[in-house]
Amino acid sequence: MTTSELLKTPLAPMHEALGARMVPFSGWLMPLQYEGLVAEHLHTRKSAGLFDLSHMGRLAITGPGALDLIQHATTNDASRLAIGAAQYSLICNERGTVIEDLLVYRLPDRWLLVVNASNRTRVVAHLDSLREGLGCDAALQDETFDVALIGLQGPESQAVLQPMVEGDLSALSYYHARADHFGADEVIVSRSGYTGEDGFELMAPSSLAIEIWQQLLADGAVRSIGLGARDTLRLEAGMALYGHELTEEITPFEACLGRVVRLDKGDFVGRDALAELHARGPDRKLVGLATEGGAVPRAGFPVVAGESVRHSDLGKEPADVGVIASGTFSPTLRHPIATAFVRSDLATPGTAMGVRIREASVPARVVSLPFVPHHTKR
C-alpha cells in the first residue's frame, strides 16, 4: 500500500506541521512520534499528552432494537449502562474467542461503539449480519469519517481542559461521557483513556479537529503524543491491544477478562462456548513478566520454565511454557516489560521464568498487572 492510498484523519496536516514521523497503521497514515517516544511517554505520565485517535472506528446504533443488537453482539451487559455511561466489552465468535474489544457508550440519542481501526470493517459486517439474522429494528451508522476523536491523558488533563469547556469536569466520573461545548461548538467529553492516567476523550466534528488540537496544545502543560508512546503507555497500564493480548485464538478467560463476560445476561454470540470454557477454566493465562538485563522480549518470543520448574526436570532442555504477547522497554520503570500467555499453573506472581531472546534464555519473573499503577479518577 502506498502512502497515497492510506486513510488520513482530519489532523494529518497538523501532525505533518508539527514534524511528526508519519507511518502506516491499520490502513491509516498516523504519527508514530514527534519529539521522541520516551520523552512523549514520560511527559504524559507527568503532565498531559494529546493523542489523535480519529482512526478508531466509531459506530452509532439507533432504533428500538439497538440494545438487543448490542446485547447479542457483545459479552458485557449493556443493559446495566445508565445514560452517559460506558463499559469495556468484547465481541466473541461462536467458539468463544475474541473478534474485537471495544467501548460501548450509552448516549442520550444513540449507542456508540468505539472499535479498533484494524477491525472496523469486520465489526460493521459482523453487526450487519447479526442484525439481519435477529431481525432487529436497529440502524448502524459509521461515524468514523465525520467525527474526530482526540485524547488528552495525564495528571494535568482536567486542569488543561476545564477552562475550554462549560461543564464541571470534576463531576464527570471515569467511564462516563456527556455533551459539552468547546467554545461555541458541541462536543462529547468522555472521561476515559488507554494510559492508566486520568484523562479525557473528545468527540467533535472533523472540521473542528485542528482548532481543538491547537487550543489544547497552546497550554504549556500539553505535548503531542504519537502511536509509539501510546503503545508503551497502554502496556505499562496492563491494557490489552487487539492482535496481541486478544485474537481469534484467545478466549476472554485466558486474557483475564472474565469480568466483562456476563453469562447470566441472556443469549449472545459465543455464550454456550464461553459457559463451557468458564466451567473448565483456562489452560493458559495472561501474565506480566519483568526480565533481567536490557534485551527486550518481543511478541512471539518463547517463554520457558524457570528455576523452580527446571529443578524437578534436571538435565532436560527447558520446555516452552508460553509465548510473549507484547514486549517493550518501560520508560517509567527503565527496564523491559512484557505480557505473556503461560501455563495456568505457572501464572502466580513471583514464579521464575525464562524468555528466549535470540540465543539466550533471559531470566524473568511473573509480576502482577498493571506494571505501573493506574491513576484514573474513580
Partner 1 sequence: MSEDGAGVPDDRRYTEEHEWAMRSDDAVVVGITDFAQSELGDIVYVELPKVGGRVVALKEFGVVESVKSASDLYSPVTGEVVAINEALTDHPELVNSSPYDDGWMIRVRVDNLAELDTLLDAAAYRKLVG
> Where does this chain bind partner 1 (CB under 8 A)?
33, 36-38, 228, 232, 294-296, 298, 328-329, 331, 336, 358
Helices (H) then strands (E): counts for the chain: 9, 20
Q: Which is nearer to partner 1, 126 or 298 (CB)?
A: 298
Decide whether 17 or 360 has the Cβ nearer to partner 1: 360
Nearer to partner 1, 26 or 232 (CB): 232
CA gap 132, 124 in Å, rounded: 12
* Residue closest to 75 by CA, chosen among 339, 234, 253: 253
Task: Estimate to the nearest angstrom the gap between the alpha carbon of 212 and the chain centroid.
Answer: 23
Closer of 42 and 217 to partner 1 (Cβ)? 42
Query: The cell 474485537 sits on which residue?
Result: 100
For partner 1, the closer of residues 68 and 236 by Cβ is 236
Measure the CA–CA gap between 20 and 205, rounded to whole angstroms.
23
Q: Give the CA distances from residue 237 to residues 195, 249, 299, 332, 339, in Å, rounded to whole numbers and listed in that order.
A: 6, 23, 17, 11, 11
Q: For partner 1, which is the closer residue by CB, 228 or 282?
A: 228
DSSP assigned state of 192: -
Q: Judged by CB, which is closer to partner 1: 195, or 232?
A: 232
Q: Which helix (DSSP H) or strand (DSSP E) does residue 130 occupy?
A: helix 120-134
The cell for 100 is 474485537
In whole angstroms, the minimum distance from the beta carbon of 217 to partner 1 comes to: 22
150-178 in b/e form (b: 16+ CB < 10 A) is bbbbbbbbbebbeebbeeebeebeebbbb
Least distance to partner 1, CB of residue 339, Å = 16
DSSP for 286-351? EEEEEESSSPPP-TT-EEEE-HHHHGGGTTSPPPEEEEEEEEEEETTTTEEEEEEEEEGGG-STT-
**Least distance CB 338 / partner 1 (angstroms):** 13
**Which CB atom, from 267 or from 359, has the smaller least distance to partner 1?**
359
Minimum distance, C-beta of residue 164 to partner 1, in the bound complex (Å): 32
Q: How far is the CB of 228 from partner 1 (least distance, A)?
A: 6
Smallest separation (angstroms) from partner 1 to the CB of 303 = 17
**Distance (Å, whole) CA 366 – CA 338:** 10
Indicate the SS3 state at residue 25. Answer: strand
User: Residue 205 Cβ, how far from partner 1 at the closest point, in Å?
Assistant: 33
166: phi > 0 → left, psi -120 to 50 → alpha, else beta; which? alpha
Minimum CB separation of residue 333 from partner 1 in Å reads: 12
